[in-house]
Amino acid sequence: MNLSIAPTLEINQWQKNTDFKEGSHLTFDLGGSYVLNSRGDEVGLFGNYSKQVSDDKGTEGSFLSDQNAGIGAFGSYWLVPHKIGIMARITQNFATENRFGGVAFQTGVNFLIPAK
């Protein structure tokens, strides 16, 4: 079983060839997962919240503060145990302001590269 909480402070720089600097964002990610078997197949739940914590600067851009929250679930399955796997996750975004909301679905392929 795995539990994690990760705060992130994003500090933006001036955008190239513009007079615009997006405000900073504070994000909290949290989640938990459970390994189902010795193959490493896994299921989990997660959540996130992101909020713009400083104002935009410059003369270009929207100058609207944004925020987003989401909850979701994921699963991964090893086709070749501990070498090649597939994963999928679904996220329900809510409490959005000036961001995309709704449901997001992602899939992917996992490749484990040995350290030896």
28-45 per-position pLDDT tens digit: 999 999 999 988 899 999
Instruction: Please write the tens of the pLDDT for every residue from 81-116.
Output: 889 999 999 999 999 998 888 999 999 999 988 887
Would the pLDDT of 78 be above 70? yes
pLDDT of residue 74: 97
- pLDDT of residue 46 exceeding 90: yes
Is pLDDT of 61 > 70? no
Sheet containing strand 25-35, strands side by side: 2-10, 25-35, 42-52, 67-80, 84-97, 102-111
Reduced to 3 states (helix: H, G, I; strand: E, B; else coil), residue 86 is: strand
Average pLDDT of the chain to the nearest whole number: 92
